[in-house]
Structure 1
Amino acid sequence: MNPAALIPVLLVLLAGGMLALQAPSNVMLAKAGGSPLLAALISFAVGTLALLVVWLFSGNRPGTAPFGSLPWYAWLGGMYGATYVAIAAFAAPRIGLASLITIGIAGQIAMALWLDHHGALGLPRAPLSAMRAAGALLVVAGVVLVRRG
Protein backbone atom coordinates (compact mmCIF):
# COMPACT_ATOMS: atom_id res chain seq x y z
CA MET A 1 0.00 0.00 0.00
CA ASN A 2 1.17 3.49 -0.85
CA PRO A 3 2.40 5.15 2.40
CA ALA A 4 0.38 8.30 1.63
CA ALA A 5 -2.77 6.17 1.29
CA LEU A 6 -2.05 4.63 4.69
CA ILE A 7 -2.56 7.94 6.51
CA PRO A 8 -6.33 8.19 5.96
CA VAL A 9 -6.70 4.50 6.83
CA LEU A 10 -4.88 5.00 10.13
CA LEU A 11 -6.88 8.15 10.86
CA VAL A 12 -10.15 6.29 10.28
CA LEU A 13 -8.92 3.46 12.51
CA LEU A 14 -8.15 6.02 15.22
CA ALA A 15 -11.56 7.68 14.74
CA GLY A 16 -13.26 4.29 15.06
CA GLY A 17 -11.47 3.68 18.34
CA MET A 18 -12.53 7.10 19.55
CA LEU A 19 -16.13 6.30 18.60
CA ALA A 20 -15.93 3.27 20.89
CA LEU A 21 -14.67 5.55 23.68
CA GLN A 22 -17.48 8.04 23.09
CA ALA A 23 -20.31 5.69 24.05
CA PRO A 24 -19.10 4.81 27.58
CA SER A 25 -18.14 8.45 28.18
CA ASN A 26 -21.67 9.48 27.26
CA VAL A 27 -23.13 6.71 29.41
CA MET A 28 -21.35 8.31 32.40
CA LEU A 29 -22.85 11.68 31.46
CA ALA A 30 -26.30 10.12 31.02
CA LYS A 31 -26.14 8.46 34.44
CA ALA A 32 -24.98 11.66 36.12
CA GLY A 33 -27.60 13.82 34.40
CA GLY A 34 -30.37 11.26 34.25
CA SER A 35 -30.83 11.56 30.49
CA PRO A 36 -29.13 10.23 27.34
CA LEU A 37 -30.39 13.36 25.56
CA LEU A 38 -28.61 15.62 28.05
CA ALA A 39 -25.49 13.47 27.64
CA ALA A 40 -25.69 13.92 23.85
CA LEU A 41 -26.17 17.67 24.28
CA ILE A 42 -23.12 17.94 26.54
CA SER A 43 -21.10 15.75 24.18
CA PHE A 44 -22.00 17.88 21.17
CA ALA A 45 -21.39 21.13 23.06
CA VAL A 46 -17.88 19.99 23.98
CA GLY A 47 -17.28 18.72 20.45
CA THR A 48 -18.58 21.96 18.95
CA LEU A 49 -16.29 24.00 21.18
CA ALA A 50 -13.30 21.82 20.23
CA LEU A 51 -14.09 22.13 16.52
CA LEU A 52 -14.56 25.90 16.83
CA VAL A 53 -11.12 26.31 18.42
CA VAL A 54 -9.42 24.13 15.78
CA TRP A 55 -11.30 25.89 12.95
CA LEU A 56 -10.36 29.35 14.27
CA PHE A 57 -6.70 28.36 14.24
CA SER A 58 -7.00 26.82 10.76
CA GLY A 59 -7.36 30.17 9.02
CA ASN A 60 -10.15 28.88 6.77
CA ARG A 61 -12.76 31.66 6.33
CA PRO A 62 -15.09 30.79 3.44
CA GLY A 63 -17.87 33.25 4.27
CA THR A 64 -21.53 32.33 3.95
CA ALA A 65 -22.03 32.45 0.16
CA PRO A 66 -20.91 28.86 -0.57
CA PHE A 67 -23.52 27.51 1.83
CA GLY A 68 -26.47 29.25 0.19
CA SER A 69 -26.76 26.82 -2.70
CA LEU A 70 -26.68 23.66 -0.60
CA PRO A 71 -29.77 21.44 -0.58
CA TRP A 72 -31.75 21.37 2.68
CA TYR A 73 -30.59 17.86 3.56
CA ALA A 74 -26.94 18.95 3.60
CA TRP A 75 -27.69 20.54 6.98
CA LEU A 76 -28.84 17.29 8.61
CA GLY A 77 -25.42 15.70 9.28
CA GLY A 78 -25.29 16.96 12.85
CA MET A 79 -28.75 15.57 13.50
CA TYR A 80 -27.63 12.10 12.42
CA GLY A 81 -24.62 12.29 14.73
CA ALA A 82 -26.69 13.62 17.65
CA THR A 83 -29.22 10.83 17.17
CA TYR A 84 -26.45 8.22 17.21
CA VAL A 85 -24.83 9.69 20.32
CA ALA A 86 -28.13 9.81 22.24
CA ILE A 87 -29.09 6.27 21.18
CA ALA A 88 -25.61 4.99 22.07
CA ALA A 89 -25.80 6.57 25.54
CA PHE A 90 -29.16 4.85 26.01
CA ALA A 91 -28.29 1.47 24.47
CA ALA A 92 -24.69 0.81 25.60
CA PRO A 93 -25.53 -0.09 29.22
CA ARG A 94 -28.43 -2.25 28.00
CA ILE A 95 -26.80 -4.27 25.21
CA GLY A 96 -23.07 -3.82 25.89
CA LEU A 97 -20.44 -1.84 24.03
CA ALA A 98 -19.34 -4.59 21.63
CA SER A 99 -22.94 -5.21 20.53
CA LEU A 100 -23.56 -1.48 20.20
CA ILE A 101 -20.52 -1.01 17.99
CA THR A 102 -21.00 -4.10 15.81
CA ILE A 103 -24.73 -3.45 15.28
CA GLY A 104 -23.91 0.18 14.51
CA ILE A 105 -21.27 -0.86 12.00
CA ALA A 106 -23.78 -3.22 10.35
CA GLY A 107 -26.18 -0.28 10.02
CA GLN A 108 -23.43 1.92 8.62
CA ILE A 109 -22.44 -0.68 6.04
CA ALA A 110 -26.04 -1.26 4.95
CA MET A 111 -26.60 2.47 4.48
CA ALA A 112 -23.20 2.91 2.81
CA LEU A 113 -23.95 0.15 0.31
CA TRP A 114 -27.30 1.76 -0.51
CA LEU A 115 -25.78 5.24 -0.87
CA ASP A 116 -22.91 3.92 -3.01
CA HIS A 117 -25.22 1.86 -5.20
CA HIS A 118 -27.38 4.88 -5.98
CA GLY A 119 -24.60 7.47 -5.96
CA ALA A 120 -26.75 9.36 -3.47
CA LEU A 121 -25.84 12.68 -1.85
CA GLY A 122 -23.24 13.43 -4.49
CA LEU A 123 -21.17 10.29 -3.91
CA PRO A 124 -19.65 8.43 -6.84
CA ARG A 125 -21.83 5.51 -7.90
CA ALA A 126 -20.52 2.07 -6.91
CA PRO A 127 -23.10 -0.59 -7.78
CA LEU A 128 -23.77 -3.40 -5.33
CA SER A 129 -21.83 -6.49 -6.31
CA ALA A 130 -21.80 -10.05 -5.02
CA MET A 131 -18.47 -9.41 -3.28
CA ARG A 132 -19.73 -6.25 -1.56
CA ALA A 133 -22.92 -8.05 -0.48
CA ALA A 134 -20.84 -10.97 0.85
CA GLY A 135 -18.71 -8.55 2.85
CA ALA A 136 -21.83 -7.00 4.36
CA LEU A 137 -23.17 -10.46 5.24
CA LEU A 138 -19.89 -11.26 6.97
CA VAL A 139 -20.35 -8.15 9.10
CA VAL A 140 -23.87 -9.30 10.01
CA ALA A 141 -22.42 -12.71 10.90
CA GLY A 142 -19.94 -10.88 13.13
CA VAL A 143 -22.82 -9.08 14.86
CA VAL A 144 -24.50 -12.42 15.55
CA LEU A 145 -21.26 -13.91 16.93
CA VAL A 146 -20.62 -10.90 19.17
CA ARG A 147 -24.22 -10.95 20.47
CA ARG A 148 -24.13 -14.70 21.20
CA GLY A 149 -20.61 -14.62 22.67
Structure 2
Amino acid sequence: MNAVVLLPVLLVLFAGGLIALQAPTNVMLARAGESAVLAALISFAVGTATLLAVWLVSGHRSGAASLGALPWYAWMGGVYGAVYVAIAAYAAPRIGLASLITLGVAGQIIMAMWLDHMGALGLARHAISPFRVGGAVLVILGVVLVRRG
Protein backbone atom coordinates (compact mmCIF):
# COMPACT_ATOMS: atom_id res chain seq x y z
CA MET A 1 0.00 0.00 0.00
CA ASN A 2 1.49 3.34 -1.01
CA ALA A 3 1.75 6.37 1.29
CA VAL A 4 -1.02 8.24 -0.55
CA VAL A 5 -3.48 5.50 0.46
CA LEU A 6 -1.86 4.47 3.74
CA LEU A 7 -2.28 7.80 5.52
CA PRO A 8 -6.05 8.08 4.95
CA VAL A 9 -6.51 4.42 5.88
CA LEU A 10 -4.63 4.91 9.16
CA LEU A 11 -6.53 8.13 9.89
CA VAL A 12 -9.90 6.41 9.33
CA LEU A 13 -8.82 3.50 11.53
CA PHE A 14 -7.87 6.01 14.26
CA ALA A 15 -11.18 7.89 13.81
CA GLY A 16 -13.07 4.60 14.14
CA GLY A 17 -11.38 4.05 17.48
CA LEU A 18 -12.47 7.52 18.56
CA ILE A 19 -16.07 6.68 17.64
CA ALA A 20 -15.84 3.70 19.99
CA LEU A 21 -14.60 6.06 22.73
CA GLN A 22 -17.33 8.60 22.00
CA ALA A 23 -20.22 6.38 23.03
CA PRO A 24 -19.08 5.53 26.58
CA THR A 25 -17.99 9.12 27.30
CA ASN A 26 -21.40 10.33 26.13
CA VAL A 27 -23.04 7.68 28.31
CA MET A 28 -21.24 9.29 31.27
CA LEU A 29 -22.67 12.68 30.25
CA ALA A 30 -26.14 11.18 29.76
CA ARG A 31 -26.14 9.57 33.18
CA ALA A 32 -24.91 12.72 34.92
CA GLY A 33 -27.35 14.95 33.05
CA GLU A 34 -30.14 12.36 33.00
CA SER A 35 -30.64 12.88 29.26
CA ALA A 36 -29.10 11.33 26.13
CA VAL A 37 -30.14 14.45 24.21
CA LEU A 38 -28.32 16.72 26.68
CA ALA A 39 -25.25 14.49 26.35
CA ALA A 40 -25.40 14.82 22.57
CA LEU A 41 -25.80 18.59 22.89
CA ILE A 42 -22.75 18.85 25.14
CA SER A 43 -20.77 16.57 22.84
CA PHE A 44 -21.63 18.67 19.80
CA ALA A 45 -20.94 21.94 21.62
CA VAL A 46 -17.46 20.73 22.60
CA GLY A 47 -16.92 19.38 19.08
CA THR A 48 -18.07 22.66 17.54
CA ALA A 49 -15.74 24.67 19.76
CA THR A 50 -12.86 22.36 18.84
CA LEU A 51 -13.56 22.61 15.11
CA LEU A 52 -13.94 26.39 15.32
CA ALA A 53 -10.55 26.68 17.02
CA VAL A 54 -8.89 24.41 14.45
CA TRP A 55 -10.54 26.32 11.57
CA LEU A 56 -9.43 29.69 12.97
CA VAL A 57 -5.86 28.47 13.47
CA SER A 58 -5.75 26.98 9.96
CA GLY A 59 -6.22 30.39 8.35
CA HIS A 60 -8.22 28.83 5.49
CA ARG A 61 -11.33 30.97 4.94
CA SER A 62 -11.89 30.95 1.18
CA GLY A 63 -14.53 28.20 1.07
CA ALA A 64 -17.03 29.81 3.45
CA ALA A 65 -18.43 32.25 0.88
CA SER A 66 -19.85 29.51 -1.38
CA LEU A 67 -21.80 27.69 1.35
CA GLY A 68 -24.99 29.64 0.68
CA ALA A 69 -25.34 28.10 -2.79
CA LEU A 70 -25.58 24.54 -1.47
CA PRO A 71 -28.88 22.62 -1.55
CA TRP A 72 -30.74 22.25 1.75
CA TYR A 73 -29.73 18.62 2.23
CA ALA A 74 -26.04 19.54 2.24
CA TRP A 75 -26.67 21.07 5.68
CA MET A 76 -28.09 17.85 7.18
CA GLY A 77 -24.82 16.15 8.20
CA GLY A 78 -24.99 17.63 11.68
CA VAL A 79 -28.51 16.26 12.11
CA TYR A 80 -27.34 12.75 11.24
CA GLY A 81 -24.44 13.03 13.66
CA ALA A 82 -26.64 14.40 16.44
CA VAL A 83 -29.14 11.57 16.02
CA TYR A 84 -26.34 8.98 16.10
CA VAL A 85 -24.70 10.47 19.20
CA ALA A 86 -27.99 10.67 21.12
CA ILE A 87 -28.99 7.13 20.12
CA ALA A 88 -25.53 5.82 21.03
CA ALA A 89 -25.68 7.47 24.47
CA TYR A 90 -29.06 5.81 25.01
CA ALA A 91 -28.28 2.40 23.49
CA ALA A 92 -24.70 1.67 24.62
CA PRO A 93 -25.52 0.84 28.26
CA ARG A 94 -28.49 -1.26 27.13
CA ILE A 95 -26.97 -3.37 24.34
CA GLY A 96 -23.22 -2.99 25.00
CA LEU A 97 -20.56 -1.07 23.11
CA ALA A 98 -19.55 -3.92 20.77
CA SER A 99 -23.15 -4.42 19.65
CA LEU A 100 -23.62 -0.68 19.22
CA ILE A 101 -20.55 -0.37 17.02
CA THR A 102 -21.18 -3.50 14.92
CA LEU A 103 -24.84 -2.59 14.36
CA GLY A 104 -23.77 0.94 13.45
CA VAL A 105 -21.18 -0.35 10.97
CA ALA A 106 -23.80 -2.67 9.42
CA GLY A 107 -26.14 0.29 8.99
CA GLN A 108 -23.34 2.36 7.49
CA ILE A 109 -22.43 -0.37 4.99
CA ILE A 110 -26.03 -0.87 3.88
CA MET A 111 -26.56 2.87 3.40
CA ALA A 112 -23.14 3.32 1.75
CA MET A 113 -23.82 0.55 -0.75
CA TRP A 114 -27.14 2.13 -1.70
CA LEU A 115 -25.61 5.64 -1.99
CA ASP A 116 -22.73 4.27 -4.10
CA HIS A 117 -25.09 2.28 -6.31
CA MET A 118 -27.32 5.32 -6.92
CA GLY A 119 -24.45 7.78 -7.24
CA ALA A 120 -26.42 9.85 -4.75
CA LEU A 121 -25.38 13.22 -3.34
CA GLY A 122 -22.73 13.75 -5.99
CA LEU A 123 -20.86 10.51 -5.35
CA ALA A 124 -19.37 8.47 -8.17
CA ARG A 125 -21.51 5.44 -9.03
CA HIS A 126 -20.29 2.05 -7.83
CA ALA A 127 -22.77 -0.66 -8.68
CA ILE A 128 -23.82 -3.22 -6.13
CA SER A 129 -21.96 -6.43 -6.93
CA PRO A 130 -21.99 -9.95 -5.53
CA PHE A 131 -18.69 -9.23 -3.75
CA ARG A 132 -20.09 -6.08 -2.13
CA VAL A 133 -23.25 -7.89 -1.04
CA GLY A 134 -21.10 -10.74 0.29
CA GLY A 135 -19.04 -8.28 2.32
CA ALA A 136 -22.21 -6.71 3.75
CA VAL A 137 -23.60 -10.15 4.62
CA LEU A 138 -20.35 -11.00 6.44
CA VAL A 139 -20.62 -7.79 8.46
CA ILE A 140 -24.24 -8.59 9.35
CA LEU A 141 -23.16 -12.11 10.37
CA GLY A 142 -20.52 -10.42 12.51
CA VAL A 143 -23.26 -8.42 14.20
CA VAL A 144 -25.13 -11.65 14.97
CA LEU A 145 -21.97 -13.23 16.41
CA VAL A 146 -21.16 -10.19 18.54
CA ARG A 147 -24.75 -10.01 19.85
CA ARG A 148 -24.74 -13.72 20.76
CA GLY A 149 -21.35 -13.47 22.48
CA distance in 2, matches of 1:65, 1:105: 34
Structure 2 counterparts to residues 128-139 of structure 1, below 5 A: 128-139=128-139
Q: Which runs of 5+ in 1 are unaligned?
A: none
2:12 paired with 1:12: yes
Match of 1:109 in 2: 109
Kindly state the Cα deviation for residue 143 of structure 1 after the two structures are TM-superposed: 0.1
* Residue identity matched to 1:112: A
Query: What are the Cα deviations for residues 51-107 of structure 1, in whole angstroms up to 9, with x where unaligned?
Result: 000000011112643112211000000000000000000000000000000000000
TM-score by length of 2: 0.98
Match of 1:42 in 2: 42
CA distance in 2, matches of 1:95, 1:148: 11
Superposition misfits of 4+ residues, deviation over 6 angstroms: none
2:30 paired with 1:30: yes
Q: What secondary structure, in the 3-state scheme, does the structure 1 residue paired with 2:69 have? A: coil
CA distance in 2, matches of 1:95, 1:143: 12
CA distance in 2, matches of 1:93, 1:105: 18
CA distance in 2, matches of 1:63, 1:96: 40
Match of 1:140 in 2: 140
**Percent of counterpart pairs with the same letter?**
72
CA distance in 1, matches of 2:63, 2:112: 31
2:79 paired with 1:86: no
* Residue identity matched to 1:25: T
Kindly state the Cα deviation for residue 4 of structure 1 after the two structures are TM-superposed: 2.2
CA distance in 1, matches of 2:63, 2:13: 32
> RMSD of the alignment, in Å?
0.8
Size of the aligned set, in residue pairs, is: 149
CA distance in 2, matches of 1:50, 1:70: 24
CA distance in 2, matches of 1:133, 1:93: 31
CA distance in 1, matches of 2:63, 2:8: 28
Query: What are the Cα deviations for residues 2-40 of structure 1, in whole angstroms up to 9, with x where unaligned?
Result: 122100000000000000000000000000000000000
2:72 paired with 1:77: no
